[in-house]
Structure 1
Amino acid sequence: MTNHNLIKTAIFSLGFTLLSACNSSGGGKVDEVQPEPVPNPDMVVLDDRSYLLKLPARFSADKEYKLLLAFHGSGSNSEAMQSIAGFEQKSEDYIVAYPQSKVEEWNEGCGCNKPARLGINDLGFVDDVIADISNNYKIIPGEIYAAGFSQGGLFSQNLLCKRSETFKAIASVASPMSEQLSHSCTIAQPTSYMMVHGLADTILPYQGQEHSNFGLISSPDAVQLLARQNGSTDLVDVGWQYADTVALTAFENNDIKTQLYSVTGGGHQWSYSRFDSSREILNFFDSHDQPSLPQYSQVHAIGEKSLHVRAMGENNSGPAVILLSGPNKNFHSDSAWFARLQPQLAYKYRVYAIDRAGNAWSSFDDNASYTGFVDDLYQLLPELGETEVTLVAFASANITARLFQDKYQNDANVKIKNMLWIDPDIFLPHSIAMYQGGTVDWYHRRINDIIPHIGEGNWTERSAGKITLEREEVAGLVGEATASLMDWSYFDLVSQRRLTIPQQTTRAIEISNYYDDLNNVKELPLLTDIKISVIDSDFEQPEIAEATEGQEALIQWAEEGSQWSQEVAAESGGQYIPLTNTDHLVTFDKPEAIIEAIDWLVAQE
């Protein structure tokens, strides 16, 4: 056939001839002569491509359905895949598409086979299939799934690496993972993945194989790699299912599951004597029906993004308070920082802690920034039913606050009535130069190299260590006296989200873009049209005391920060609130000072 050395292999007799996608020790994948195709009324032609569409037996045009795409093996076809998988016969909840590859195989992401050499855009084809079905049928938003067999399973892994934002969960059968894809895979948004593989598979071996053109890593190594990409660093389940026939290896991170079912004695096949792959895959997909967001959490669609909001006190008739987070010393920046403050504020206010794209349960954005969040916030507030708000900005989040007011202060749809800035960024030349130097400058110049490095999981262990230390620090700030007011469950759930590859990547992108965010605010004048109160802690003092060099610059930064903060408050008619012996995480150390400051602002209205 080609340099890919396609060879013949085992055939399943199920009333048709089926070939599994595979690879031999000679470096090729299996091919098989197919019978002449019989016209099928369910075949949908899409430009120069096609897919087999199967509707539920009791299909109703008025009902919304999930969408499942199932990919055949090398040398096979969509009808053969439908015959062995038959997903539509096992569930009334799915519209099922069986796409047809353009040549013998799928462009699986290894860059090593015929469709890769021909430049066939199978990822784009999948996008087109989804769009075509979505235009003609009612698909439940966010309920799109994929599964593949053999080389089709390798392609489904490519979808996991390249289209994770599209799919809620993905499965593969009889497919380990290509060496090439294992090096390039980056899961942008954590996506559950299920792998089924027979230990006796000699076509695409369970233990992988070495080859210069088409090497495979083992299925256990593939699942561990993908678990790390999904932010799951701990093995949560290793056990036998179905007596001693099938072993389950499972990793979890919140609602994201990464699983391997290892079938003793199983060969290169779709289903096994005691394991119905179609049924088990559907069970796996159905287990994701109701993602268990934490209590009070919501996810709102804003254009192509989705933003996480923790909404508390929604039945209160008083003013609405918006909480925007900035970073701590590790640049972690999300609604976990409000796990102590927000519940107490919610006794009297409607309180919304909003996470920028890429943080907590907000969707990934490859250009995340404080500047970009301005328009997201503008679109989100009316969705929350809040058009007049008190905005609380912690640390660098005052960049978003200042840019928002500059852009939308005369807009009739949304009004910020007043603001509270907590340890804000200082928009003066010396301070901005300090913020943009060192770490930020390093990220800004190297971001294109940093992102793939993170994608390989190289920073996960270090991030986990930082999160552990942060929790200890916060526990010390909260103390025993007010520990009952701290929502540790929520804090821990959000903290664990930081371990996912997309959130590690977001952190790097935001640090890099922070350089330009600062340029966007450095020339803006002080605000005078709304009251801004500023809480100014003395968190810089320990850093100044411990500095072995650059101490004078740090002292100047602290001094001009206090002076500037006083000017911000004075020019706007707000309060300047200095705090001594206070940690930068004021939300844990002195939450009562924040509450009093908000109460004062509201009383001025």
Structure 2
Amino acid sequence: MKSVSLGGLLALTMIITNLTACGSSGNSGRAAEPAESSENIQLGERSYLLGLPANFDKNKEHKLLLVFHGSGGSSDGMRSSARFEQLSSDYIVAYPKSLEVEWNEGCDCNIAHRKGADDLGFIQQVIEDVGKRYALQEGEIYAAGFSQGALFAQNVACNMGDQVKAIATVAAPMSKQLAQSCPMQTPVSVMMVHGTADNVLSYYGSDHANWGLLSSQEAVARFAELSGSLPNPLLKSSEQNIGLIHYTNGAQKVQLHSIIGGGHSWRFSNFDTSNQILTFFAGLDAPELPEHSQLVEVQGQKFHVRSMGEQNTGPAILLLPGFNYNYFNDSAWYSLLQPYLAQTYRVHSIDRLGNGFSDMSEEVNLTRFAEDLNSILNEINEKHVLLVAFSSASITASQFYQHRSDDVQLAGMLWIDPDIAGPHSLSLYKGYPADWYLANLDALLPILAEGKWTARTWNKLVVEREEIAALIPEAVAPLMDWNFLDVVSQQRMLVGPQQTRAREIAFYANDLDAYAVLALPSSVPVSVIDSDFEEKDIQNNPDNAEMLRLWQQEGTAWSKQVAEFSSGQYISLEQTDHMVMFQKPEAIKQAIDWLVAHGQ
């Protein structure tokens, strides 16, 4: 994976600057409500406090959560602040006590280091001791810490990643020394919670001759880099004045919750720290979704659906992605069009299995997705729809037209540069690279699993992004959701989506054969937007100019036939790129407006 991007840090800074500050409340891990029953356990000269959940079942396997107090704090104080065993029956909770006033946090700079406190060794002893007393779930050990204990939790992540699955840190960034020396071999999920008005361990970092701190934004980026995360973070902000920056490598998560105006505290008036940490630990296997997104489950498989403009009436607009020239296809193609249309319509973009944030599957093809659509529409309670299909998604749209549920009212369809079901075009589509992928699929899948194509995928994404940026008209540029495009498109770098892409290209010929024998739609209007993107291919490939010109001519004739046969519109766009969704969203909206006015 490439190193993490600074774009996310700059964007989050803007979020924090624009949010209204709010105060924090609660205690710092030292004040204590009366603790419930617990056991103080001695391990030689060291000790830890053991908290068991209510109605503890000794025959049940539990997860283990280690919680570290701050400088000068205590196990009792930390337990009273965190209350983890009161909030979940899944965890046995251990609150170790530091040997010195501070933990040996890995900066090689404090009292604990100078006195040689083996705090990592002690934590290993605690894990083993709890394991002797109670049944623990294999691979389910977690750690959390407050303030200087949070810095120590980071040291645990760096050096004990083979044992600890995830950590959560509260009220601390990261020491510059540990950031440079962290020997993380096994990636660990990391959740950071930090108030932007922290006057003890500054959210913005600090410089000191012996002990410097990264800012929390730099710290989360450093952990993302150590875990091999994808380059671009997901950014969110909430009405509660909390900013989220979230990285993932496809398996582990690294995220920072910025509590705007929050001080040096475990508790905040607008953020339930302990419950949020438990939610993070419980949801490590689920993707963090962008705003407006949800996972819709159909027959045990989850599909990524992004919904906007839900207050609008009329038919729902369904955006179906198709192949671009790199054979990438997901809802990133609608990063501009969806918010543009959502000003007027209720709009859903839907990713097929293996694309975007949808579940992975070995059974992927464009034809199968038409069957999935019926179930997805039922789950999101949409019965009156209009389909917008880009490129090869016309295959799915055609199949859906033929096999849609009886209770779904289809108002019409808009096909943007659709696949052409003519003999010359079909022969081109079935040629390279589709024929190569089909012949080499079995050998290619393990190569993709080793990550050998990840760098080339990233290089393609960089070029695509530059091309898209050059297409967007200034008038609609404020609506472009760059973070959504970056976060969704970079999923293509992960092994699962890479293999899905290979399978879809290999099975493309079968999809085309099924498409070619379908009758043209006749009972609903189908409008076709036909750009002249082929002109660029013709100019760049003079040796194949005649073949490409025939493709263009056949495409024009076939597209006109589809529109005429169904009483739709044929819309020719000159000097237009294949990515019409970015270059001319107004033309798409005008075509949709016409279909809504003339459809069922």
Q: TM-score range by the shorter chain?
A: 0.5 to 0.7
CA distance in structure 1 between the aligned counterparts of 2:378 and 2:386, rounded to whole angstroms: 14
CA distance in structure 1 between the aligned counterparts of 2:281 and 2:86, rounded to whole angstroms: 11
Q: TM-score, normalised by structure 2?
A: 0.59
Q: Are the aligned partners of 1:308 and 1:360 in contact in 2 as well (CA < 8 Å)? A: yes
Instruction: Report the CA distance shift for 1:481/1:285 in structure 2 as closer, same or farther (over 3 A).
Output: same
Could you tell me how far 1:58 is from its partner in structure 2? 3.8
CA distance in structure 1 between the aligned counterparts of 2:536 and 2:570, rounded to whole angstroms: 22
CA distance in structure 1 between the aligned counterparts of 2:384 and 2:300, rounded to whole angstroms: 25
Within 5 Å, which residues of 2 pair with 1:71-86?
Answer: none
**One of 341, 345, 352 as aligned partner of 1:345:** 341
Matched, 1:335 2:331: yes
Could you tell me which residue of structure 1 aligns to residue 571 of structure 2? Answer: 577
Could you tell me how far 1:550 is from its partner in structure 2? 2.6
**One of 396, 399, 409 as aligned partner of 2:395:** 399
Within 5 Å, which residues of 2 pair with 1:23-102?
Answer: 56-58=53-55, 90=85, 92-95=87-90
Could you tell me which residue of structure 2 aligns to residue 22 of structure 1? Answer: none
Q: Are the aligned partners of 1:195 and 1:259 in contact in 2 as well (CA < 8 Å)? A: no
Instruction: Report the CA distance shift for 1:489/1:148 in structure 2 as closer, same or farther (over 3 A).
Output: closer
CA distance in structure 2 between the aligned counterparts of 1:55 and 1:255, rounded to whole angstroms: 33
Within 5 Å, which residues of 2 pair with 1:184-199?
Answer: 194=166
Matched, 1:389 2:385: yes
Could you tell me how far 1:93 is from its partner in structure 2? 2.3
The one-letter code of the counterpart of 2:88 is: D
- After superposition, the CA RMSD in angstroms is 4.4
Higher relative contact order (CA 8 A, sep 6+): 2
What's the CA shift string for 1:338-395, capped at 9, x where partnerless? Answer: 1111112111111101111111111111122111211111100011111121101000
Q: Are the aligned partners of 1:316 and 1:349 in contact in 2 as well (CA < 8 Å)? A: yes
What's the CA shift string for 1:157-178, capped at 9, x where partnerless? Answer: xxxxxxxxxxxxxx9996869x
Within 5 Å, which residues of 2 pair with 1:42-441?
Answer: 56-58=53-55, 90=85, 92-95=87-90, 147=139, 194=166, 220=184, 223=187, 249-253=226-230, 254-256=246-248, 285=281, 288=284, 292-408=288-404, 411-441=405-435
What's the CA shift string for 1:215-266, capped at 9, x where partnerless? Answer: xxx9856549x99xxxxxxxxxxx9xxx99xx964443445367799xxxxx
Instruction: Report the CA distance shift for 1:259/1:505 in structure 2 as closer, same or farther (over 3 A).
Output: closer
Instruction: Report the CA distance shift for 1:287/1:533 in structure 2 as closer, same or farther (over 3 A).
Output: closer
Q: TM-score, normalised by structure 1?
A: 0.59
Secondary structure of residue in 1 paired with 2:388: strand
Could you tell me how far 1:549 is from its partner in structure 2? 2.5
CA distance in structure 2 between the aligned counterparts of 1:556 and 1:290, rounded to whole angstroms: 47
The one-letter code of the counterpart of 1:571 is: F
What's the CA shift string for 1:131-165, capped at 9, x where partnerless? Answer: xxxxxxxxxxxxxx96169xxxxxxxxxxxxxxxx
Instruction: Report the CA distance shift for 1:287/1:524 in structure 2 as closer, same or farther (over 3 A).
Output: closer
**One of 524, 527, 530 as aligned partner of 2:521:** 527
**One of 476, 490, 498 as aligned partner of 1:504:** 498
Matched, 1:471 2:465: yes
Secondary structure of residue in 1 paired with 2:139: strand
Could you tell me how far 1:443 is from its partner in structure 2? 0.8
Secondary structure of residue in 1 paired with 2:543: coil
Secondary structure of residue in 2 paired with 1:300: strand
Give structure 1 stretches of 5+ with no counterpart: 1-12, 16-53, 61-65, 71-87, 98-144, 150-170, 178-191, 197-217, 228-238, 262-280
CA distance in structure 1 between the aligned counterparts of 2:437 and 2:596, rounded to whole angstroms: 40
Could you tell me how far 1:479 is from its partner in structure 2? 3.9
Could you tell me which residue of structure 2 aligns to residue 124 of structure 1? Answer: none
Q: Are the aligned partners of 1:319 and 1:350 in contact in 2 as well (CA < 8 Å)? A: yes
Could you tell me how far 1:592 is from its partner in structure 2? 0.8
Aligned residues: 405
Secondary structure of residue in 2 paired with 1:462: helix
Q: Are the aligned partners of 1:173 and 1:195 in contact in 2 as well (CA < 8 Å)? A: no
Could you tell me which residue of structure 2 aligns to residue 3 of structure 1? Answer: none
Q: Are the aligned partners of 2:471 and 2:583 in contact in 1 as well (CA < 8 Å)? A: yes
CA distance in structure 2 between the aligned counterparts of 1:497 and 1:396, rounded to whole angstroms: 20
Could you tell me which residue of structure 2 aligns to residue 552 of structure 1? Answer: 546
CA distance in structure 2 between the aligned counterparts of 1:316 and 1:435, rounded to whole angstroms: 38
Could you tell me how far 1:295 is from its partner in structure 2? 1.4
Could you tell me which residue of structure 2 aligns to residue 449 of structure 1? Answer: 443
Could you tell me how far 1:402 is from its partner in structure 2? 0.6
Could you tell me how far 1:451 is from its partner in structure 2? 1.3
Instruction: Report the CA distance shift for 1:282/1:388 in structure 2 as closer, same or farther (over 3 A).
Output: closer
**One of 468, 476, 492 as aligned partner of 1:482:** 476
Q: Are the aligned partners of 1:195 and 1:260 in contact in 2 as well (CA < 8 Å)? A: no
Could you tell me how far 1:292 is from its partner in structure 2? 4.0
CA distance in structure 2 between the aligned counterparts of 1:289 and 1:92, rounded to whole angstroms: 21
CA distance in structure 1 between the aligned counterparts of 2:490 and 2:159, rounded to whole angstroms: 29
